[in-house]
Amino acid sequence: MPTGKGIAKRMERLDASGIRRVFDLAASLADPISLAIGQPDFDVPEPAKAEAIAAIRRGDNKYTVTQGTAELRAAVAAACAEEFGWEDQRPFLITCGVSGALMLAFLVLVDPGDEVILLDPYFVMYEHLTNLTGGVVVTVDTYPSFDPEPAKIESAITERTRMLVINSPCNPSGRVYSADELKAIAEVAARHELLVVSDEIYDLFCYDQPFASIASFYDNTLLMRGFSKSYAMTGWRMGWCTGPAEIIEKMTMLQQYSFVCAPSMAQAAGVVALKCDMSAQREAYRRKRDMVYEALREPFGLIKPGGAFYAFVPAPEGVTATQFVERAIANNVLIIPGKVFSRRDTHFRVSYATSDEKLARGLEILVRLAR
């Protein structure tokens, strides 16, 4: 029988009102131009699809070991050895997307009252997971350039700080941190023996400079990457994580009692995906980024985003971003108000992960509204 207790208290700390309002407004549109979507518009590479199908046919349909198949972990380790020069036996955990890795990491690391530093604007899940685990979000404002300023980060650190979360290329700003910027963050973190969680899910989508990871400079990094964006496998739920052995060990234990394992056929396909050349897709998205920048730089004062597939655009003077988004939706273009990712309501997020034709039509309407 029900106890009458209802929903657990921790759920009161979650709030989805910002994004719900957008969906409510959008529900009235018959055929909206959506510049709101956080997933690639290309499909999974053919060899990876074929391998997933073959894996199902040959019976790879059972639980795998919790940490992920030996083949996929070896493939990820080999890719890391090439990128970082790591020769040690690091632990790797295959997760159900980067979301799965984040969920495990927050549960393993954050106690009630612990502070989690986020660079504002930030990917929404970090805020919700902090709240869910009883932590306290401490934001470092990075507007208007979205530069990760080391002095500001350092001044946000207190005795209760548990970790700093960084995300480059960034959702929603599209900002990419240079190697020098990451080194400066690493120096601050090292001075305070601070764990850095580095969400590198958009590592493929880096347009103007080589991608750099803080894991190259700083060992106390919990590094997370995914297959969702690079290989368009959003529905296959695949990611991976590496970092300090003790943390990975606890995350693995918790995965055993929660997700159990990432999908077996997706793990088989992941081995193949890692060998696929995605440079054509990156080039296509670079071109779309250029389209967005060319259209929005002057009427909106957009700073050129260097990566991911988002632009974070200042709303025109005199209106809040929420008001501008409502106006855009009334004109059939779906965008996301920056408030969803931020303490501020000054910007809106445009996703250019869509066809050139839809993107051009959407941009034209946004430019008209700005004028």
Residues of this chain that interact with ligand PLP (CB under 6 A) are 38, 97-99, 123, 167, 171, 199, 201, 226, 228, 234, 239
Which residue number is nearest to ligand PLP in terms of Cβ? Answer: 97
Nearer to ligand PLP, 90 or 349 (CB): 349
Nearer to ligand PLP, 34 or 234 (CB): 234
Q: Are 115 and 136 in contact (CB under 8 A)?
A: yes
The 8-class DSSP code of residue 10 comes to G
Contacts of 282 (CB under 8 A, 6+ apart): 204, 205, 206, 207
Nearer to ligand PLP, 135 or 239 (CB): 239
Tokens of 141: 């404002």
Strands (E), 72-206: 92-95, 115-120, 136-141, 161-167, 195-199
- Residue whose C-alpha is closest to residue 123's, from 80, 176, 165: 165
Following CA atoms 39, 40, 42, 46 in sequence, which dihedral angle do they give, to the nearest 10 degrees?
A: -70
Q: How far is CA 175 from the centre of its chain?
A: 12
Following CA atoms 144, 145, 148, 151 in sequence, which dihedral angle do they give, to the nearest 10 degrees?
A: -70
Q: How many CA atoms lie within 13 A of 57 on its CB side?
A: 6
Q: How far is the CB of 296 from ligand PLP (least distance, A)?
A: 21
Q: How far is the CB of 212 from ligand PLP (least distance, A)?
A: 17
Q: How far is the CB of 358 from ligand PLP (least distance, A)?
A: 19
Nearer to ligand PLP, 234 or 323 (CB): 234
Q: How far is the CB of 154 from ligand PLP (least distance, A)?
A: 24
Nearer to ligand PLP, 91 or 239 (CB): 239
Phi, psi of 221, deg, nearest 5: -120, 135
Q: How far is CA 8 from the centre of its chain?
A: 27
Q: How far is the CB of 108 from ligand PLP (least distance, A)?
A: 17
Q: Cα–Cα distance between 45 and 50 in angstroms, integer?
A: 9
Nearer to ligand PLP, 162 or 349 (CB): 349
Nearer to ligand PLP, 243 or 370 (CB): 243
Nearer to ligand PLP, 38 or 299 (CB): 38
- Residue whose C-alpha is closest to residue 263's, from 100, 4, 101, 61: 61
Q: Cα–Cα distance between 249 and 243 in angstroms, integer?
A: 10
Nearer to ligand PLP, 340 or 370 (CB): 340
Q: How far is the CB of 368 from ligand PLP (least distance, A)?
A: 29
What is the maximum span of the chain, computed from C-alpha positions, in angstroms?
Answer: 62
Query: Residue 261 CB: number of other CB atoms within 10 A?
Result: 19
Q: How far is the CB of 315 from ligand PLP (least distance, A)?
A: 22
Q: How far is the CB of 106 from ligand PLP (least distance, A)?
A: 13
Tokens of 363: 């941009």
Q: Cα–Cα distance between 62 and 261 in angstroms, integer?
A: 10
